[in-house]
């Protein structure tokens, strides 16, 4: 990949088919509100990112972060770093889902429960690395058609199973949600690690508690506060995929001051304790590798 990176770095910033390649000679800061979900790949160097008021996290070369729509994103990018930003527009997401449906790899039931929206940070696989290199070559040759095809392939590796594909259904569904729910979802995603009360949600949505309850029941078959708990549990499950994370630290990161409340809520959703979930998940990951 180094050879093609050296070619692209001469331009510093290239946009093709909404995909952005950027090279930063000096330390740079960037902050924006995401108008659509995105996946950011660190091709060289490193950066720290912050979603909403959550703690800053380091993203190193060989890793990517998936972030949802409607959240405040901040990047502190180290000097001599290169990134590739891939926005998940509604059009490419619909194309991806259509391809999966054509090849019987997508369950219709996922469209009924688009609940998994947690922020995702992971190292990419060898297959994704090959596709990223191809994407960079196509960008250098100004070939948007081939860039588009490569990105669909990358999505197939990032969202390989039903747990991950449910993120895609949320992306599609989010574009159709009423504005009050979109505003509430953005607030929850940026503040799930802090105490959240119904009053705060009604303030950011500018609707009554009863109205917001009805909207959430229609969209998710959950109350707003049940939705908060669901998002916290999804994020906790994601964090527990890291074997070095302690259960106590995970509980704090997703907004639980009471360990017993966290353990009870986690077991209610997943049927096992957080520690059992972490152990089983990492055993599966080792077998896959």
The model's pLDDT over 182-201, given as tens digits with 9 standing for 90+, comes to 899 889 988 888 899 999 99
CB distance 43 to 99 below 8 Å = no
CATH number for the region 177-288 comes to 1.10.10.60
Average pLDDT over residues 19-36: 90
Say yes or no to pLDDT of 8 above 90. Answer: yes
The pLDDT score that the predictor gives to residue 249 is 93
Q: What is the pLDDT of residues 121-142, one digit of tens each?
A: 889 999 999 999 999 999 999 9
In which band, very low, low, confident or very high, does the pLDDT at 110 lie, cut at 50, 70 and 90? very low
High-pLDDT (> 70) share of the chain, %: 87
Whether CATH 2.60.120.10 fits 2-89+116-160: yes
Domain with CATH 2.60.120.10 in the chain: 2-89+116-160
The predicted structure's pLDDT at residue 44: 95
> What's the pLDDT tens digit per position in 112-122?
444 555 677 88
Question: For residue 57, what are the β-bridge partners?
Answer: 49
Predicted confidence band at 165 (pLDDT cuts at 50, 70, 90)? low
Compute CA distances 209 → 173, 212, 214, whole Å: 22, 5, 9
Q: Give the residue range(s) of CATH 1.10.10.60 domains in the chain.
A: 177-288
Residue 109 has pLDDT above 60, yes or no: no
SS (H, E, C) 190-254: HHCCCCCCHHHHHHHHCCCHHHHHHHHHHHHCCCHHHHHHHHHHHHHHHHCCCCCCCHHHHHHHC
């Amino acid at each position: 990949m180094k050879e093609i990176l050296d070619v692209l770095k001469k331009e510093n910033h290239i946009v093709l088919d909404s995909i952005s390649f950027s090279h930063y000679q000096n330390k740079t800061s960037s902050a924006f509100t995401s108008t659509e979900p995105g996946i950011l790949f660190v091709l060289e160097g490193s950066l720290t990112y912050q979603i909403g008021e959550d703690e800053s996290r380091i993203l190193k070369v060989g890793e990517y972060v998936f972030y949802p729509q409607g959240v405040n994103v901040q990047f502190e990018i180290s000097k001599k770093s290169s990134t590739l930003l891939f926005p998940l527009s509604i059009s490419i997401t619909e194309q991806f889902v259509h391809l999966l449906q054509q090849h019987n790899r997508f369950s219709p039931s996922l469209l009924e429960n688009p609940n998994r929206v947690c922020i995702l940070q992971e190292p990419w696989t060898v297959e994704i690395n090959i596709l990223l290199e191809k994407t960079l070559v196509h960008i250098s040759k100004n070939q948007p058609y081939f860039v588009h095809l490569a990105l669909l392939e990358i999505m197939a590796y990032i969202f390989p199973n039903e747990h991950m594909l449910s993120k895609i259904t949320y992306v599609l569904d989010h574009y159709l949600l009423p504005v009050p729910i979109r505003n509430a979802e953005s607030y929850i995603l940026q503040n799930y690690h802090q105490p959240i009360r119904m009053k705060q949600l009604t303030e950011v949505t500018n609707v009554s508690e009863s109205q917001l309850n009805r909207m959430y029941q229609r969209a998710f078959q959950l109350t707003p506060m049940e939705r908060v708990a669901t998002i916290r549990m999804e994020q906790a499950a994601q964090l527990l995929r890291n074997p070095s994370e302690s259960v106590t630290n995970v509980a704090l990161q997703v907004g639980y001051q009471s360990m017993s409340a966290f353990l009870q809520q986690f077991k209610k959703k997943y049927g096992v304790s957080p520690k059992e979930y972490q152990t089983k998940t990492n055993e599966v990951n080792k077998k896959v590798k």
